[in-house]
Structures are given as C-alpha cells and as structure tokens.
Chains A and B, each alone.
Chain A
Amino acid sequence: MPTKVIQKFGISYLQVLDEDGKVDEKLEPKLSKEQLLKLYRVMLLARRTDERMLKLQRQGRLGTLPVCVGQEATTAASALALEDDDWMVTAYRELAGRLMRGEKPLNPMLVYAGFEEGNVVEDNKRILPVAIILGSQVPHAVGIAYAEKLKGTKNAVLTFYGDGASSQGDIHEAMNFAAVWKAPVVFLNQNNHWAISTPLKKQMANETLAQRSISYGIPGIQVDGNDALAVYKVTREALDRARKGEGPSLIEANTYRMLMHTTADDPKKYRSQEEVEEWVKRDPIIRFKLYLEKKGLWNDKKNGKLEEELKAEIEDAVQQFESYTDFALDKPFETTFGSSVTPLVKQHQEFLADLQKDENNA
C-alpha cells in the first residue's frame, strides 16, 4: 500500500523593518511614541554598557563576561511586549531585555565584578538571574508558568536560550511539558549562529530552529531578530495566546553575536571577518534609529543628548561598583540555607577565626 501524507507543516518568517529602515506599514505594530523611544533608549544603553564593560574587563576591573552586542533588538523588543506582572527567565546574553525589565547597568557590573548582589533587581522580583548552565533555566520558566496558571492569573513567562542550548535535553523536555500542560510561556530561541566556535550547521541538521515547535505541537515562527518591530509583534502575539490559555509558542529570532562569546574567547580562531561584516550591516540599532528619524521622532541633536545621558548613567554605575562597600566576606554562610545547620555553624566560626589570623599574619 502506498504511503500517504497525513500531516503537512510549514514555518513562516517575519520581517517588518528592513535593513534600510523601511517599514511595512501593514505589519507595523501599534506602539506609542513613548514605547518607541524607550525601546531605542534601552537598546542603546545596552550597547554602551557592553562597550564600557568590555573596556573595564580589559583593564582588569571586571572578570570574564559575555557580550551581547548585535542582539539588542531581540531581547529589548520582546521584553517590551511583557506586562508588569509577567516573568522573564534568561540565559546570559539578554542584557538589553534585562535593562528593559528593571535592571540598571550597575547590576551586570556587580555580577561580573564577582558579587552575587548584582543579581538582586530592586524594581522587579519577576526576573531570574542570568543562567550560566545552558538551557537549565528553561524548565524553570515552564514551572513558573504552570504556577501562574494554577493561581488563575493572566500572567505569562518569557524565556530565552540560544542556538547552542537548543541541543540540550532540558530545552526539549521543558517544551514538551509546557505543550502538554498548556503552560503560559513563550520560548524565545536567540539564534546568534555561534555556540562559541560551533556554527549552526554543526549544531543541528534542521533548516530552522523554529520547526522544533512542530514536534511539540505548538505554534512556531522565525523572525528577523535584528528587527525590533517584528520581534515585538510576534512576542506580543505569543504572549496573548499564552494569556488566553492557548499554551506555549516558540519564536526563533535570527540574529548574530557580533563580538566574542565571552572576553575569554577569540573568534578569529573560528570565523571570518567577512561574515561578521555582513552582519554589522544589519545592525539592529542603526535600523531602528533610521525608522525613528523617518517617523519624525528622532534627530541628531536628540541623539547627541541621549548619548550624553547614557554616558553619565553608565559612569555613575562604574563609580558605584568600584566603591562598593557592602561586602561581608562571610555572606555565603548566611545564604546557603534558610535555617541554621550544624556543620556550618562551626565552619562559620572557624572561617572568621582563620580570616583574623590570616590578616594578622599578612
């Protein structure tokens, strides 16, 4: 008996704003002037913070850190689509999105200066700290979403991971759970094309990452990740579905890691400068600035003023983290458990006594 096709699938791609700043008005999302300007401000703040942190790292004033340059539209525009009570669960290349959700430049500076205190976001409890173990955060996002559903809220969860992490079992298992539970979660797969030295073609044999959605029975789409308007639009739609009880969605944002994986990495060892230059032409911030200018919302004078403002904000953060004094060396003894445990009581005393002896001998 001949085989017959019993299911057919397709994956769509969305771009709203092209590389020259030309917008498809039929698809343009309805964003207020304030929202548009906030989006631009946050993307530029992330870019300048990254650049400043990179310099600080090279001067030995910060430790190893990941850099997010080139991926600002994907994370800032998707975070803009969230409501106040929604959750955000990220990996470590979402600086712009995190700044959109209440972090200040001081947060990453403290984290990359080696202080857990940078993980505390004063203005927003509904954001988890950066996750270093790839993909490990995505099941948490599904659990958080399940809890929102159980509580009967309309809140949703936006979670991020990369093309490298997409190979981890955690991601697949979490996506299946979310689909079965119809959990209100949006999976945003930042495809920046490189997992340290491993290019996408060695990461998977699929044509797109978005088509992974098909195997879990959830909607999936690929979007131009350097197009802030398209990212906002698809994320907003996915969050709306989640809120309505229609379950999770997968978004693949097609973007690019313009710089190194972390400051400990040398991309010249594995990729060509020509490839990087092709992507520099698609810079998400330049494109969005052109769009604002064409809409009459932006000009060079305003831009110059904003750059000054951001510079002051970032330098203020540098001052703060370098003069950071809230530094109890024995803090880990207080935070490892929520109640007193016998071995740690004794070890804490020994720690303090040894610290004193070491200082006396120094």
Chain B
Amino acid sequence: MPKLTMVQAINLALHQEMERDSSVLILGEDVGVNGGVFRATDGLLDKYGPERAIDTPLAEAAIIGTAIGMAINGLKPVAEAQFSGFSYLMIPQLEGNGGRMRTRTRGQHTVPLVLRMPYGGGVRALEHHSESKETFYAHTTGVKTVIPSTPATAYGLLLGAIRDPDPVVFMEPKHSYRAFKEEINDSGEAMELGKARIVTEGSDITVIAWGAMLHKTQKIVEEMSEQKRASIELIDLQTIYPMDADAITKSVTKTGRCVVVQEAQKSLGPASEIIAIINDEALMYLEAPVKRVTGYDVVMPYFSRENHYLPSAGRIRRAIEETLEF
C-alpha cells in the first residue's frame, strides 16, 4: 500500500479510473501540459493523450457547460475549476441545467460528471483563494457535494464521485493537499457517497468536522484523549449533501453532547443543518447545547489577517471543554 499525500492520492485515483473506464476524461485550465497548478492531474496527458486530458481555453462557464454535454452523451468528464474562487461562473450551468437534466427529461438524459476544485484557507494565497463556499453547491439541487479530509478518503471518495450517476462537486481542501501522507488501499475500491466516517469512537461527546478542519480537530481530540480528559467521538462528515443524518443522530444519541467545526462563514452553513438534524432526531438526548466553531460572515481578508478568521485550535478546544462541562 503506497503512502501518499492527498494530491498524489487524487492523481492516483484519476490515473486508475481513466485506465479502467475509457469514457472518463479530464478537462480544465492547465490540467494537461502543466499537470494542474497543484499537479493533481500530472501525467494524465502523457498517458491518455490530449483528447482525454484537455487543456481548455480560459472560461469556467464553458468548461462546466461542455462537461454537461459530454456527460449527456456518454462520457464521464472530471472537470476542474483551478480554484473554487473561480468556480462561481459555473453555478449558473450547474443550477440551471446540470442538476435538473435528469428531472427535466424524466431520466432520458443524465449528467454523470465530477467538478473538482481546491478550496479553503491558510495557504498565504491571493484574494479569492481562501473561501469555503460549500453551501453554494450544497444548495444546488440535484448536485452532490463531497469534501474529503485525508489522502485515503480523497482517493476512495473521488472514485465514488466519478462512478456516481449524477453531478458531484468534489471540493478538495488545499491546505491538506501536502500536509501529511497516509497509506492508501489502492485496489480501486470506491467509497460510498452520503456517508460520514467515524474517525475515533467515544462516549462523552461527538465532534463533527470536514475538510481541512478535520485534521486540525483530530489533533486536539487526540491530545485530549491522551490526557484522558474525555472519550471523544470524532466524525468526518465527508459528504455535505446528501448529509448522513443517521450517523449524526446515532452518535449524538449516544454521547448527548456535540461540537461542530466549520471553516465556512457562520450563518446558514452545514453546521446549521447538522444542528437542525440533531434538533429533529436527538433533541431529547442532549445534555448540553450544541456548539459550533466557524468562520465569520465577513469578506475573507487577505492572508495577513486570514488565519484569525479560520477556527483556531484554541476555539475548538474551548468549545469541546465548555460543552463537556455544561
């Protein structure tokens, strides 16, 4: 089993899936010759040629619009938005057509595509390179939104996304791209979308996170567990929509306490939905109010201030402590 970074794991999944299924192709800006600005698509052009590793002209709306057409006509495009901050021109196509074609034609035409995009803060980049806007895509009806947090889950979930019969937005936390390596079962087995993952089992409190926040939270959870301060159940949400309500309910019913860690701005984010699910399914089991640690509803500042606008380790730790002590 190879030990890989998240970027290498994504690259491996693309290589294997293009080898396995000749209808899979990639398209986007700088994905071919350059191998992607993060090298996620490195080597695909050499192996599969320019017809299946397409360096497109620079136009996000046309990348996703043509990908929808390819998907309708039997291909399985994996499109790339170079950064999520440039992907908003793709929303009209996804909302207006990608997520509706199956319904509109009663299943005669379907859109099995994947839209990959690096997202999230903390890498000292330029404006538009720091936001977490998964809610945009979670609210795009008929589209699934997936966020991996580790190399192994990036590999498995990307395979799952490519094999899914509907459009999937696959948001890659770029802060985690090269942050750590992990052993990967590279057997080509896809992970199921719509399922959360229990990272560590526990009985005192449930902590839910996704994307780059998962790794950050995990370190705090491990530290607190080593100090025998609490038995913490850590859940990696993995799919933003459709959200795994069963996993959340099952865990919170057991622990009675919950903290949600969300990089995105506070209002109307996935954390709000998680708390609504708990309200619907597990309210009577709660021992304390559910806390959320989130970003803020402000325009994301340039990088000199940026780190102060991401959930800090201190805020995450205090939220867990306060919820345990309530």
Contacts and interface: CB of A to CB of B under 8 A. Distances in A.
B250 interface: no
A167 B312 CA distance: 40
B55 A198 contact: yes
Interface string A90-119: 000000000000000000000111111000
Interface stretch (A23-31, A149-157, A222-230, A349-357): A349-357
Interface stretch (A47-55, A300-308, A327-335): A327-335
A4 interface: no
Interface in A124-168: 132-134, 164-165, 167-168
Interface in B54-110: 55, 57-62, 85-86, 89
A264 interface: yes
Contact of B58 (A132, A167, A327, A331): A167
A148 B33 CA distance: 44
B1 to A, nearest CB: 30
Given A195-B29, A197-B30, A198-B57, A343 B267 contact: yes
A132 B127 contact: yes
A354 B304 contact: no
B29 A347 contact: no
Contact of B299 (A111, A336, A351): A336
A176 interface: no
B59 A354 contact: no
Given A115-B304, A198-B58, A344 B298 contact: yes
Contacts of A197: 30, 32-34, 55
Interface in A197-231: 197-198, 202-204
B314 A343 contact: no
Interface in B159-190: none
A163 to B, nearest CB: 9
A336 B297 contact: yes
A268 to B, nearest CB: 11
B126 interface: yes
Given A64-B125, A196-B37, A357-B314, A116 B58 contact: no
A270 B305 contact: no
B263 to A, nearest CB: 15
A168 B59 contact: yes
Main secondary structure of the interface of B (DSSP, over half): loop
Contacts of A327: 304
A331 B33 contact: no
Contacts of A341: 297
A265 interface: yes
B30 A354 contact: no
Interface in A25-76: 63-65
B297 A114 contact: no
Nearest to A196: B30
Contacts of B30: 196-198
Nearest to A347: B296
Nearest to B85: A133
B57 A113 contact: no
Given A203-B58, A269-B33, A269-B34, A344 B312 contact: no
B301 interface: yes
A361 interface: yes
Residue of A134, A197, A264, A331 with most chain B CB atoms under a 10 A cut-off: A197
A332 B314 contact: no
B126 A64 contact: yes
A116 B312 CA distance: 22
Contacts of A168: 58-60, 89
B58 A165 contact: yes
B37 A202 contact: no
Contacts of A245: none
Nearest to A66: B126
Contacts of A112: 126
A132 B267 CA distance: 26
Nearest to A63: B124
B300 to A, nearest CB: 8
Contacts of A164: 57-58
A344 B295 CA distance: 11
Given A132-B127, A265-B37, A196 B297 contact: no
B68 to A, nearest CB: 16
B301 A331 contact: yes
Nearest to B57: A167
Contacts of B299: 332, 335-336
Contacts of B32: 197
A132 B57 contact: no
Given A133-B86, A269-B35, 19 more contacts: A112-B126, A113-B304, A132-B127, A165-B58, A167-B57, A167-B59, A195-B29, A197-B32, A269-B33, A329-B308, A331-B305, A332-B299, A332-B300, A336-B298, A343-B266, A343-B267, A343-B297, A358-B314, A361-B314
17 contacts: A64-B124, A64-B126, A114-B302, A132-B127, A133-B128, A134-B58, A168-B58, A169-B61, A196-B37, A198-B58, A202-B57, A269-B34, A331-B305, A335-B298, A336-B297, A344-B297, A347-B297
